[in-house]
Structure 1
Amino acid sequence: MTKMLAPLCLCRVTVALALLANLVHLSSASEYEYISWKGESFGGGRVYDKPPQCVPIPDDLRLCHGIGYNQMLLPNLLEHETMAEVRQQAGSWVPLVHKACHRGTRVFLCSLFAPICMDRPIYPCRWLCESVREGCAPIMEAFGFPWPEILNCDKFPQDDVCISSPNVTEPTQPNGLSPVCPACEENMKNDAILEHMCASEFAVKTKIKEVKRENGDRKVILQKKKKALKLGTLKKKDLKTLTMYLKNGADCPCAQLDNLGSTYLIMGRKMDKQYLITGIHKWDKSNKEFKKTMKKLKSHKCPVFENIFK
């Protein structure tokens, strides 16, 4: 195996490791059993053909590049055996990190997608998983995504050597402000627009005819004239009568839905029998960066995401 970090020393306090950037929490407990990487079954009983390698975190693995260490184990702790698999899966989480639903989201996800090189697997602490889930699950639900089973917090250790993140025990909260609906971020960066487009099933350019409240959601009735920028699973016959919903958005601010005279880029996905809004951005022809992004969209290749949100 490629050269690893020095073995961990057990102690009762949080320690700082050079490459771990103060993310590893250690205690004297020994109940959590480490499973060898060398030819034995790991996780759910899977056996790997090759021993794990310590490989550089590539620049295009945006979720974890610059996380505080430069190399990761492959296969990772989510059983991805190739970097292509890691890229496909990790890319679908980048929009969630942009939402800043919890300060520890990136640390938690990268401890699984791009685990630090050690001589044994180091999992995220259960409390970190639970704290991130508490802060981010409501936003994921707004997009129609349940918290996935592969991130079941009960799987992770409570008191043994585990990945922690200092001072992130509480979800990120805006100070004294009403939370903006997750899909309604007005100042979405251009890279984020492309990421949202890739993470969404379809996207249309259209105006809004009417907005209503319905069962805690906001029902968004679109005008008949629409231009499909990405059809995905959406059929052309459904495009004509497309009505969308802002999940749990009856009371949260969404400035875009207050101005029915503008044209918008609206992204979405189907959940059960509803079409949910995953992103809404003003179609601003005077914005050079936005025009550049829309032009780039024509040749932009999205990663093929495996659906883990079942």
Structure 2
Amino acid sequence: MASRRTGPAAWAQDRLLRALIGALLLLPYAWRVPLCGWVMSRLIAPFAGWDRRVRANLARVLPNLPEAEVRRLMRRVPDNVGRAVIESYSGQAFVERAARAPVTGPGLATLEAAHEAGRPVVIVTGHFGNYDASRAALRARGFEIGGLYRPMNNRYFNEHYVRAMAAIGGPVFARGKAGLAGMLRHLKGGGMLGLLIDVHMRDGAVLRFFGHPAKTALSAADLALKYDAPLVPVYAIRAENGLDFEIRVDAPIPRGTPAEMTQALNDSLEAVVREHLDQWFWIHRRWRVAPAA
């Protein structure tokens, strides 16, 4: 899938974003990360309508949240998004920070055993904390993790977005025919593949997330079954200081049908989001299915 948007408006949007990112990168790491969070939360999110979307999503799936908590999340969610954006553009500084993150959880032994045996693994996470931190932390332990990504609509922005992802480590594969071929070669060769599961997929299965129907891709489970690969949820949980992370590797998902395994992935992500409501990207249009579905 190629990035689609070109032309003067897309070019101008990209130049503005490049200028903002470039200016932030001039600052020390410990300053630029919270500053980008503040800019995203206080300036960009209200203009983009993200605060309203956060409120709408929360009203849909957590209608009993106190108003004070809703307002807190309307600020903290885009703050986390902004931090994640500039972290992922910070290259080696971010990689070194994430590499120091503790990696724990019952699934870590599975990753280590698969790595020793040269066996493929499908790692699944969501738009939570900063998912690139888990890739950097696991790579520091010797795991080579490829990533599948959806190209940005703005072609100019996509060029440096892909470079930033690749700088964190591991091969990255674009959704589409060429990327799919590279991704399958990586898995067949015993590599680990990281996938995000928490976006609306038009052709996905109607499963449940926070008790509501949400179309979800079955591809992670399909790949795990086809290549006899463990399906392991992994989460990068942002620490209280806003700069560091804890990497949680949950137990592998038991074998079953693709729908059963994917529902278990949704349940795993929901559990960690409920523990840290401000770290999931509530700005996404996750629920686009009628409640009666």
Per the normalisation by structure 1, the TM-score is 0.27
Q: Between Structure 1 and Structure 2, which shows a larger proportion of helix residues? A: 2
Structure with the higher fraction of residues in strand conformation: 1
Larger Rg: 1
Higher RCO, 1 vs 2 (CA within 8 Å, ≥6 residues apart): 2
- Give the TM-score, by structure 2 length: 0.28
